[in-house]
Amino acid sequence: MDAVSHEGQQAGIRPVDPSQVSTPGGAVAIQIRLMAIAAAARFHGVELERNDLRCPTDEIPSPAALTDWLRSSGLWAKAVNLPWKPLTGLDLTAPVVLLLTDGSAVLLVANDKKRGLVWIRHSRLAPADPPVALDETQMSRIWSGQAILMRAKRTAASEDAPFSLAWVAELVWMERHAMRDVGLASIVLSILTVLPALMVMTVIDQVVTHQSLSTLVLISLLIGTAMLSETLLGYARRQLILVVGARVDAKLNLHVFQRLLRLPLDYFEHNQAGYIWSMTGLQITKIREFLTGKLLTTMLDLVTLIVLLPILFFLQPVLSWMVLLCAGLIAGIIVAFMKPMSRRVKRFIDAETAKSSVMVETLHGIRTVKSLALEPQQKDRWDARAAEATQAKVAAGRLANLPQMIINPIEGFMQRGVLLVGAYIALTDPGTVAVGGLVAFMMLSARVAQPLASLAKLMEDIGEVRTATALAASVLNQRPESADPAAGIRPRFQGAISFRKVAYSYPNATAPALDQISFGIAPGTVLGVVGRSGSGKSTVTRLLQGISRDYKGIVSIDGIDLRDINLAHLRRNLGVVLQENFLFRGTISDNILAGRPGLTLSDAVRAARLAGAAEFIERLPNGYETMIEEGSPNLSGGQRQRLAIARALVHDPRILILDEATSALDPESEALVNANLAQMARGRTMVIVSHRLSSLTDCDAILVLDQGRVLDVGPHSELITRCPTYQQLWHQQNRHMLTAQQGV
């Protein structure tokens, strides 16, 4: 017996009054429920963070919200409804959370099926207190019947597996039960489709020759039934294909998007959106179409072939060989054309990709295109690409036409030629084939060529899908930002930052962006960062956010190495405002809250006040409910920027980074933001990057960078006397004041 339940056994049976362990609803009950979940998670070595729970603070968290909470921290979790018996028989290797009717929860730590008892522990009780034992009636009074099971994730989940053909195959394989049903339906269907032909044969051979009316009636009935079930089964088959296809499709989509989001920012900076789209989105569409369309239908056609061939051979072996030969010839021709064909198809696809990237680029940069009057140039580029795409398409179509031409007569011979040969056989050797048999053969043999041809085509498609998978994999299998999203510690930040001998070079860069940088600041410091353009200011903030991870040296927050901190946790505890900030389509309050769990409108208002955005928001006709359109044309730059600052502040981050946040603003908006800086800085560490020194004079310390090196750190008053570069920058920017002073 394991440690948990052993503890319970030791405690002995001490049934207690249920009122002792349950607390009436409300905030306390919710708190107890969360504590119970957190305690159980701690058992698996996971510290949960209240912020990750997606549930309003005043609502009793639902089982679904709780499991989502656990999953977000990398645990496997499931909410179940348990009857009493299974509860007593549960295999308890770790505590199970039982949700009580009053909104709280307890931990189930031991159970005994024979005696019909469970031992529970109240998360409020001191850990030293023994668990209490309850029986069925006592439990039924307090327990809702719901339990939350959790465990550490055992294996690398399928979302971590590299994207490959094998992975895709596994995806299909997971749907094998549904596929088996499709297969069975197809076999039945094939048999049913064969029936009418055989019946026609009987009608002609028996009824017509012997003129027996009763047989005709019987056969008509049979044909009617066969047709009816064929219709129904056909419907069922299409339905199944639809469901299987949709399921595979959904999984593929989810997986791809998730993987894409896990790629580091670097990757998106170095590759154009158009390229990434054509490498993933387009390829995935191709893979999906193959899996849910051609693959399934061809497989099903093949089943038909397996049923069909024996019957054909039974009817007339010589003719069957002829049909097979023709079908084989057709398949062979298709195979022969596959290679050159796929080359042309590839050229066509490349041309299409190039074409669409011109489109994407133009739309993306339409402001620049219009204001620089670049329309003619863009149009020329588009025309050239479009012409190339058309040409490639014609070339591919022309080549595809050729095998079609060769195949046509073979197909014709398969039908009419076989009839002639069959008639000849019937004439010369009347015993072997009757007229009815010949007709039935004709009806069936038409179905042989098609599956064989589509099988050959399938080979080609598999080649294409393999290429598509490889292309998509080349993007999706890039090293993700962090190998395990749940790994790392989640400390509560104070805000001390230290860089020790940090060096960083961007991939493919010749000179290092940061070169042996060392500095440290205490919690609550307002640090200004100055330096010429390209001196590494933004790079410092990128390292701090864990965007660029391949640096040398040590970056730490509160003495904890950044590499040991959970990446999502780190970013959630930072607030970042850049020069250009993306506002999402939605209301102003949506944009400030940015979907962060557990925050309400009052948080948005508080953040907006702090950021100096409240006054303009309140002047808008719809206030916080004003819609922001794509590109936010209804807001000025300064307003946008203040919204972005509110968004960065709404979750009260311990560390706030402003990277040239006010540089693009007009002096008035800049002054508005700067006026609020002191207020914003209260209770947090701030890193303010700016090339405008005058806005940094009030900082506790200013870091002066040059060519990736630290020249000096200190307050303005010291730097102005001792740091030549700082002096130079200062005088450059404040020449007007200098001349004014001299003038006096």
Taking the alpha carbons at both ends of the chain, their separation in whole angstroms is 90
Minimal distance, residue 731 CB to ligand ADP, in Å: 20
| Residue 717 partner contact from ligand ADP, Mg ion, none using kind-dependent CB cut-offs of 5 to 8 Å | none
State which residue, 200 or 530, has the beta carbon closest to ligand ADP. Answer: 530
Listed residue (102, 79, 99, 103) closest to 30, CA to CA: 103
Residue 290 or residue 499: which is nearer to ligand ADP going by CB?
499
Give the whole-angstrom CA distance, residue 532 versus residue 288.
50
What one-character DSSP code corresponds to residue 489?
A: B
Label the pairing between strands 655-659 and 75-81: unpaired
Query: Of the candidates 67, 320, 538, 641, which one interacts with ligand ADP according to CB under 6 A?
Result: 538
Backbone angles phi, psi at 634, to 5 degrees: -85, 5
Cβ at position 688, least distance to ligand ADP in Å? 13
Residues 92 and 108 sit within 8 Å (Cβ to Cβ) = yes
Q: Which is nearer to ligand ADP, 572 or 709 (CB)?
A: 709
Binding to ligand ADP by residue 510, rule CB under 6 A?
no
Nearer to Mg ion, 230 or 659 (CB): 659
The SS3 assignment for 49 reads coil
Supply the DSSP string of 674-706, one letter for each residue. HHHHHHHHTTSEEEEE-S-GGGGTTSSEEEEEE
Q: Is 531 in the site for ligand ADP (CB under 6 A)?
A: yes
Q: Quick one: tokens of 152?
A: 């550490």
513 makes contact with ligand ADP (CB under 6 A): yes
Kindly tell me the number of DSSP H helices and DSSP E strands found in the chain. 28, 18
Q: Distance between CA atoms of 242 and 44, rounded to whole angstroms?
A: 41
Tokens 């149009």 correspond to what residue? Answer: 379
Q: 193 vs 538, which CB is nearer to Mg ion?
A: 538
Residue 648's nearest CA partner among 674, 616, 610 is: 610
Residue 539 interacts, among Mg ion, ligand ADP, none and using kind-specific CB cut-offs from 5 to 8 Å, with ligand ADP
Could you give the 3-state DSSP secondary structure of residue 500?
A: strand
Of 33, 259, 537, 606, the one binding ligand ADP (CB under 6 A) is 537
Ranges assigned E (strand) in 5-104: 75-81, 96-100
Q: How near is the Cβ of 258 to ligand ADP at its closest, in Å?
A: 24
Q: Could you count the other beta carbons within 10 Å of the beta carbon of residue 137?
A: 10
What are the residues whose beta carbons fall under 8 Å from the beta carbon of 453, sequence distance 6 or more? 327, 330, 331, 334, 407
Closest residue by Cα to residue 266 from 484, 513, 469: 513
Site for ligand ADP in 161-180 (CB under 6 A): none
Which does residue 534 bind out of ligand ADP, Mg ion, none, counting CB within 5 to 8 angstroms by kind?
ligand ADP
Amino acid identity of residue 75, one-letter, is: L
642 scored as a contact of ligand ADP (CB under 6 A): no
Closer residue to ligand ADP, CB minimum distance, 505 or 632: 505
The listed partner (Mg ion, ligand ADP, none) that binds 155, CB under 5 to 8 Å by sort, is: none
Rounded to a whole number of angstroms, the minimum distance from the CB of residue 266 to ligand ADP is 7
CA distance 526 to 696: 9
Restricted to residues 257-276, the positions that interact with ligand ADP (CB under 6 A) are 269
Compare residues 579 and 626 and give the one whose CB is closer to Mg ion: 579
Residue 445 or residue 538: which is nearer to Mg ion going by CB? 538
245's contact among Mg ion, ligand ADP, none, with CB below 5 to 8 A by partner kind, is: none
Name which of 256 and 703 has its Cβ closer to ligand ADP: 703
Residues 496-555 that bind Mg ion (CB under 5 A): 538
Tell me phi and psi for residue 497, to 5 degrees: -125, 135
**Partner in contact with 533, chosen from ligand ADP, Mg ion, none, beta carbon below 5 to 8 Å by kind:** ligand ADP
Scanning 347-355, 434-442, 536-544, 560-568 for contacts with ligand ADP by CB under 6 A, the matching segment is: 536-544
Q: Looking only at residues 449 through 508 of this chain, which bind ligand ADP when binding is defined by CB under 6 A?
A: 506
CB of 267 to ligand ADP, least distance (A): 10
Shortest spacing between CB 59 and Mg ion, in angstroms? 42
For ligand ADP, the binding residues (CB under 6 A) are 269, 506, 509, 513, 531, 533-539
Residues that bind Mg ion (CB under 5 A): 538
